[in-house]
Structure 1
Amino acid sequence: MSLILSRLSRLGLLKPRLVVRRSSLLLLPSNDFSSNSLKQNQTPPCYIYGAVSCGFNLGTLAICSATDRWMASDIDKRAPMYLVYNFLSKRNVVTIGASHGWVATLNADEEGILCLQDDLNPAASDIDPKRISLPPLVTLPHCQTNVITNVSLSSSSPEDQDCVVAVKFLGPQLSFCRPAQSKPEWTNIRIENPCFFSSPVMFSKKDETFRIPGCGGHLIGSWDPRKPSDKPKLQMLRFENFPPELRTKTDIRERLDPCSKSEHLVESRTTGETFLVKWYKKTTEVKDGVTHMKTEYVMVFKIDEQGNAVYTQDVGDLVILLSKSEPFCVPAASFPGLLPNHVYTLDFDEVGFVDLGSMLIDTFGGTNRAPFYIPPQNKQEMESRGC
């Protein structure tokens, strides 16, 4: 693996990212992912930060475990290079999101075929990778299906008979599909309220519905995939408390107005809690026409059944992981090395750690071609599926 890291560095595919401000976050190579974590029932949260070509358009993956934040794995895991570096693909195939460790790709050359792949899942087999092609996308009138906001799976595998895949497009369209059906087809929903047009979709295991936070976070829409309807169930949120340093309009204007904001719903399956996370990013530089951003602020609100959204700086032992994948949270105690009461952020040009208690934000830059946090995987379950 040291050879892989060296080659990644020489190729410019791995950027120096040891720029942190606290000794507690010193990032050092480790083999914990392979020697300890993989001996447990679940793999730790992780992401792919590079790959080295090994021929036949395949690459050996460099895997970063969230438990160490800088980890050289000994796993000899291979995957198609275009899944990590879209620009290396000669086909018009782009990676557009991930959920439960399944990466979604869109092939524009094949009538907009969306495919789910487990190639980037460290616990999945690279000898017999799973590739599940969904039916050609159907575009509703006055909608588009070329730009996808994100994808969400209702269970850990699209091979499950009851699994529903939700695809949120930029604009009014939301589409559902059951891949395991003998003849899967799309159910398309047209969303009327424009506050949902650019927001991501997530699956609530507690409610068995797909949910979308409206822009600004004051409204949540819920769609039951068993009874799809253009009329979602709506929940208005009442915000209580705000960060003490943002109590005045002047504070908010000076700190947050220059930022871009995104809202993310995250559900803890261990505690049953639901959180709304507001992620603020600020432009730091524009280089060669490319905008580079970093996390400026994060707000976490705990949502109850009555629609009260209470600002909190204490989520207990939980760790919330935000990326271009469907967000999720895990208990830190289950994965030694994770920092409790933290939000971990991952984007194309940044990896960050937000201590909610002190609101200290540590970020380090680089180029992350596949910024998808992969949630813990149950190894026994995957082995039973032949993964």
Structure 2
Amino acid sequence: MSQLLFRLSKLSSRNKNVFVQKSVRLLSTSPCLTLCFVWDELLEGGSYIGKAVFYDPAKDKIHHVPGKTIPQELANSKMMGSSQGWGFFSQRSNHNSVCISDQFNPLSSSSKIKMIPLPPLTSMLFGQTKVVCNVAMSSSSPHEEDCVVAIKFFGRQLSMCKPGRDLYWTNRLIPFDCAENSNLMYSKRDQRFYLPAAGGNYLCSWDLNFDNDPKFNELVFPNFPDMPQSTWEALDSCIREDHWVESPSGQSFLVKLYSRVGSKAATVMVLVFREEEDQVTAKGTRNMCYTQDIGDLCIFLSKNDPFCVVASSCPGLIPNSIYMMDHSIAICELTKGTVTRIDLPDIFPLFPFWIPPCSV
């Protein structure tokens, strides 16, 4: 149990000063966390010049990407989500007016920020569009013909559209409650959007055609970690999040995060279950086996769609680990059973979204 339960006594912090690199020209990036955008100068017409600020966990550095020109429309917007390196923004004066932009892509052009308007959001009878849980995209380029963007709102509304092609959103009612405790993601292997259902025993999914009913897969757990009943009872009093994530090779995992209510050191326990692909039944039942070994992989969890990176492709990342962003940046090393918090100097993430690796 000592390797599983991450109590406050097992938390450690990196109190050393994180190196700040004020200006950087990148050709490729490791995964990074969006921190904030700093305005430097107001231009004629209402645009701004400023710098995007990122945290690179592989190098343990803060990067400033200067000289980015932000149009007035983005300056008057708030970031509501991120997927595939693209930010989703809504107008402060009208939350139903939304667009996607590469403003926080570390490699995007500084002088030509891309903005792609999306159709105005519309609320369903039992839905709302003011509070967003997370967003997901089926492609890293919204210009691809089959690219679909999806927004999961607090409550039961799910909205999908094809950027630049659809004139309106297709709204769907999520067929269960409490969906805010799980994040929508896109599976490249299955070409479907996945959302763990409340309770974590079913996986709900939608295809890219919009007009089909959601599909359900039952998740079966043949083994759980051996822990005292008192530990399980303590976990029952925690908040649990379920994250479905896919590795670059198509391997699927279910990550269960347990956290205490009102605790700043939020994460109490992390449980990882690996899908046994050779045991999927004709009815679609999926066997999920508990594991403390995900190999040379890192899983990144925040308020956006979760993703997975091969650690050896980004030197400095810790393999067999989960990088989290909630109340703070934290790294869970599954082998050691420890959680390390990262203290950033005088910066609190205003946009707590991990961005996957990108290159030019």
Q: What is the TM-score when the length of structure 1 is the normalising length?
A: 0.79
1:76 aligns with 66
1:369 is the counterpart of 2:350: yes
Q: 2:30 aligns with which of 44, 65, 80?
A: 44
* Shift in Å, 1:75: 3.7
Specify every segment of 5 or more residues in structure 2 that has no aligned partner in the other structure, as ranges. Answer: 1-10, 43-47, 281-285
1:342 is the counterpart of 2:321: yes
2:157 aligns with 173
| Change beyond 3 A, Cα 1:116–1:219 | same
Q: 2:19 aligns with which of 14, 26, 29?
A: 29
The amino acid that maps onto 1:73 is H
* Shift in Å, 1:111: 6.2
| Change beyond 3 A, Cα 1:174–1:50 | closer
- Matching of residues 158-169 of structure 1 within 5 Å: 158-169=142-153
Structure with the larger RCO, 1 or 2 (CA within 8 Å, 6+ apart): 2
1:248 is the counterpart of 2:228: yes
Q: Verify the 8 A CA contact 1:45 1:65 in the aligned structure 2.
A: yes
What is the root-mean-square deviation of aligned Cα atoms in Å? 2.8
Name the CA distance, whole Å, in 1 between partners of 2:24 and 2:185.
Answer: 30
| Change beyond 3 A, Cα 1:173–1:186 | same
Name the CA distance, whole Å, in 1 between partners of 2:12 and 2:122.
Answer: 49
- Matching of residues 239-278 of structure 1 within 5 Å: 239-244=221-226, 247-254=227-234, 256-269=235-248, 271-278=249-256
1:64 is the counterpart of 2:55: yes
2:332 aligns with 354
The amino acid that maps onto 2:31 is P
* Shift in Å, 1:199: 3.1
* Shift in Å, 1:77: 4.9
* Shift in Å, 1:33: 10
Q: 1:364-383 deviations in whole A, cap 9, x for unaligned?
A: 4562111111101131xxxx
1:128 aligns with 112
2:7 aligns with none
2:303 alignment partner, SS class: coil
Specify every segment of 5 or more residues in structure 1 that has no aligned partner in the other structure, as ranges. Answer: 1-19, 286-291, 380-387
Q: Verify the 8 A CA contact 2:100 2:116 in the aligned structure 1.
A: yes
Q: Verify the 8 A CA contact 1:165 1:176 in the aligned structure 2.
A: yes
Q: Verify the 8 A CA contact 2:118 2:164 in the aligned structure 1.
A: no
1:280 aligns with 258
Name the CA distance, whole Å, in 1 between partners of 2:297 and 2:208.
Answer: 29
Percent of aligned pairs with the same amino acid: 35
2:6 aligns with none
The amino acid that maps onto 1:371 is P
Q: 1:109-154 deviations in whole A, cap 9, x for unaligned?
A: 3361121111011111120001111111122212212211111000
1:253 alignment partner, SS class: helix
Q: 1:74-115 deviations in whole A, cap 9, x for unaligned?
A: 6425365999xx9xx7x5x43211001111122253361121
1:299 aligns with 271
The amino acid that maps onto 1:100 is Q
Structure with the larger helix share: 1
Q: Verify the 8 A CA contact 2:49 2:67 in the aligned structure 1.
A: no
Name the CA distance, whole Å, in 2 between partners of 1:117 and 1:46.
Answer: 17
Aligned length: 335
Q: Verify the 8 A CA contact 1:45 1:373 in the aligned structure 2.
A: yes
Name the CA distance, whole Å, in 2 between partners of 1:80 and 1:365.
Answer: 29
Q: 1:145-203 deviations in whole A, cap 9, x for unaligned?
A: 2211111000002122210001111222211100132x532111122333546532110
Q: Verify the 8 A CA contact 1:53 1:59 in the aligned structure 2.
A: yes
The amino acid that maps onto 1:236 is E
* Shift in Å, 1:30: 6.7
Name the CA distance, whole Å, in 1 between partners of 2:23 and 2:317.
Answer: 13
